[in-house]
Structure 1
Amino acid sequence: MSEAGLAFDGVSAAYRGATVLHEVDLTVDRGELLVVLGPSGAGKSTVLRVAAGLEPVTAGRVRIAGRDVTTARPGRRNVSMVFQSYALFPHLTVAENIAFGLEVRDTPRAVARERARTAAETVGCAGLLDRRPGQLSGGERQRVALARALVREPDVFLLDEPLSNLDLTLRVEMRAELRALHDRLGATMVHVTHDQTEALVLADRIAVLRDGRIEQVGTPEEIWRAPASTFVARFVGSPAMNLLPAGGPVHPTGAAPPATADDDLQLGFRPEAVTLDAAEGAAATVDRVEVVGEDAYAYLTLAGGQPVVARVPASRRPGRGSAVRVGVRWADVHVFHAGSGRRYRPS
């Protein structure tokens, strides 16, 4: 493993007396793009604010590039932060916005402006240097914000949902550019988002956060193929993973689910693992069907009342109200403890 660019060692943090991070252990390797993924209120932005020194810790320590910065002021941490709101000065030109952080640190103006021009070229906004933020589109403002972060040559880039204000087409374009920028620079980046697709596309690794605690850290493939809990299984995937009792009406083919002393298990399987023509499958009724291009999502109710979602070819979608037989292969099933929600691991 490479040297850590950023590390949280048992970090806890509070806001207005309430603990929002609980003993978080998290290491971001130097040159890695790690995405912190979670719902609103999970503590994602607090992770960035603690790293930047904008929020104090109540326990644990923070290290950047091998230095303990737990009590260091923000200006001594050598990090750059890109905000969701861009946070550009409206009265300054693009060139002045990009160079601002250097000039307030007494960098000679000519040097600051040259570095600003180079950073603008790197992110594709060199043609905008004489404009002001009010003359820019959302995508152009985001490029300026990235250039302003880049010009400081930080140890760590902290990106707080920087794409969320963009429309869908521009968001797809910008996340590709952001990934390419990371690969070109070899920079250490921590990117916060609630968008699972953004996380899966951008990340070297993903840290899934829930209620201020790390639920799972892994590569996008590990998060998708081996979710550590029912929370991860349901949060990553749209539509969400199906969850049913192990003793319920759906019996996967190919094997039987494991047994425990209290039989406290759930079976999880994604919509694409479901078949609707299984000869021995569980009886279900089609409530509605959503067509998305070549695919269709059939929302079903089993005889016992449990909901199931199946992904099928749009050309073979069932009709609303029709009766189907639900089947699933054992190879596509995940097993979880119903009580704790954690992944079942045979002893």
Structure 2
Amino acid sequence: MTAGLELVGVHAAHGKAEVLRGIDLTVPKGELLVLLGPSGAGKSTLLRVIAGLHPVSAGAVRIDGRDVTALSPGQRDVSMVFQAFALFPHLSVADNIGFGLQVRGMGKREVRRRTEVAAAMVGCEKVLDRRPEQLSGGERQRVALARALVREPALFLLDEPLSNLDAELRVRTRTELRALHDRVGATMVHVTHDQTEALAIGDRVAVLRDGRIEQVGTPDEIWRRPATAFVAGFVGSPAMNFLPGDGPWRVPGAVAGQQVGVRPESLRLDTSGDGLAATVTGAEVIGEDAWVRLRIEGHALVARVPATTRPEIGARVVARADAADLHVFDADGSRVG
């Protein structure tokens, strides 16, 4: 498959501090790739490098097979949607969407046509005559997306575009964003620190840590087979539990210095039978689920169970998990097996 974006050995710095440390990444044409990671991982810097807004100290950036490493942002054929909507308050929605085409000298009739098409794609065609101050947060986000779409670029870059929306609107808008990508079929790179958002919309997810890529895979691969202990612990709510390799959870082949991980959703609690003896130290009810806090041989774990089955604090229980749900990581954090 043709690559829409290629990063080869990309390094970048802020002053003397190295932020990106050898990024190699290929995004097939038409894919929606999500860059996921904690604050300071280098996600936004990487997006700015792709856009040409931040210089590389080494490596190459290619878009649709063209080396753009030395090109200015305007020469790269990319459109970017920022966390802040950055709309011109004195312009109408239509003029905001078509502004980039106007300054490039495109004829008024073609600008209007493409503006109306882009607005219809994102569902803001009924507010073209309004000003940004007359719009809701969700409508402003749609306008920002339409402004990116109208240029029909080779690559779309989205820098945490949903983070300023309230929780309900964020969920609805991410669904619309995924549907928009499927309609347009464009290559998109989307930055977020929200793991739920990443797993919900990405064709693939690239997990970053300290300027390096820890893993690239489908949402299912990231969830079910994390490549490192960091990915396993970062993706999931509550986070994955870890026990020493030679600790209470006996896994064939696991040894001292290694870690055994199990997701809270994979733990089952009972009052008797085979498993690990545990004491309930707390419980948080979150909707239909309960996060039950356990103590097992001095180690703290969390089990995510139906709220109606949560045991009382202080109760003695048995914790079980299937062998297929146990993950073993080496001392350096890499996956074993």
For normalisation by structure 2, the TM-score amounts to 0.97
Which whole-Å CA distance do the structure 2 matches of 1:275 and 1:249 have between them? 16
Equivalent of residue 289 in structure 1, options 262, 283, 292: 283
Instruction: Tell me how far apart the structure 1 counterparts of residues 246 and 37 of structure 2 sit (CA, whole Å).
Output: 31
Residues 1:264 and 2:257 are matched in the alignment: yes
Give the number of aligned pairs: 336
The SS at the match of 1:276 is strand
Q: Distance in 2 between matches of 1:15 and 1:139?
A: 33
Instruction: Report the secondary structure of 1:89's partner residue.
Output: coil
From 291, 301, 309, the equivalent of 2:295 is 301
Unaligned runs of 5+ in 2: none
**1:230: how far off?**
0.7
Q: Which of structure 1's runs of 4+ aligned residues deviate more than 6 A? A: none
CA distance in 2, matches of 1:173, 1:325: 39
In structure 2, the residue matched to 1:179 is 178
1:300-319, aligned counterparts within 5 Å? 300-303=294-297, 305-319=298-312
Question: Using the alignment, how far apart are the partners of 2:10 and 2:254 within structure 1?
Answer: 38
Which residue does the alignment assign to 1:170?
169
The answer for the alignment partner of 2:333 in structure 1 is 341
Residue from 327, 332, 338 that aligns with 2:325: 332
Distance 1:259 1:195 in 2: 32
Give the Cα–Cα distance (whole angstroms) in 2 for the partners of residues 157 and 308 of structure 1. Answer: 41
What is the CA–CA distance in structure 1 between the aligned matches of 2:15 and 2:254, rounded to whole Å? 45
Please list, as runs of the form range in 1=range in 2, the aligned pairs for 1:1-40 lying within 5 A after superposition: 2-40=1-39
**Aligned equivalent of 2:144:** 145
The letter of the residue matching 1:15 is H
Tell me the amino acid that sits aligned with residue 287 of structure 2.
Answer: G
Distance apart, 1:313 and its partner CA = 2.0
Q: What per-residue deviation string (whole Å, max 9, x for no partner) do you get for residues 253-289 of structure 1? A: xxx42155xx321111111221222523333221211
Q: Is the 8 A contact 2:254 2:328 kept in 1?
A: no
Aligned partners of 1:122 and 1:298: how far apart in 2? 44
Shift in Å at residue 293 of structure 1? Answer: 2.7
What RMSD over aligned residues (CA atoms) do the two structures have, in Å?
1.2
Contact 2:119 2:125 in 1 (8 A): yes
Residue aligning to 1:280: 274
Q: 1: distance between equivalents of 2:279 and 2:286? A: 21
Letter of the 1:284 partner, please give it. Answer: A
Aligned pairs (5 A) from 1:83-98: 83-98=82-97
SS in 1 for 2:223: helix
Deviation at 1:58, TM superposition (A): 0.3
Mapped partners of 2:147, 2:333: distance in 1? 43
For residues 16 and 155 of structure 2, the distance between their equivalents in structure 1, rounded to whole angstroms, comes to 29
Q: Is the 8 A contact 2:249 2:260 kept in 1?
A: no
Q: Deviations over 1:201-249 (max 9, x none)?
A: 1000000000110000000000000000111001110001111012112
User: In 1, Cα distance between the equivalents of 2:162 and 2:252?
Assistant: 42
In the alignment, the residues of structure 1 paired with residue 284 and residue 202 of structure 2 have an alpha-carbon distance, to the nearest angstrom, of 29
Give secondary structure in 1 for the equivalent of 2:252.
coil
2:245 and 2:211 map into 1 onto residues whose CA distance is: 30
- Cα distance in 2 for partners of 1:147, 1:329 equals 47
Amino acid at match of 1:334: H
Conservation of the 8 A alpha-carbon contact between 1:250 and 1:327 = no
Q: TM-score, with normalisation over the residues of structure 1?
A: 0.94
- Please state whether the residue corresponding to 2:335 is helix, strand or coil: coil
**In structure 2, distance between residues paired with 1:318 and 1:259:** 30
- The 5 Å alignment of 1:100-111 reads 100-111=99-110
Q: Which stretches in structure 1 are left out of the alignment for 5+ residues?
A: none
- Aligned equivalents of 2:206, 2:50: Cα separation in 1: 15
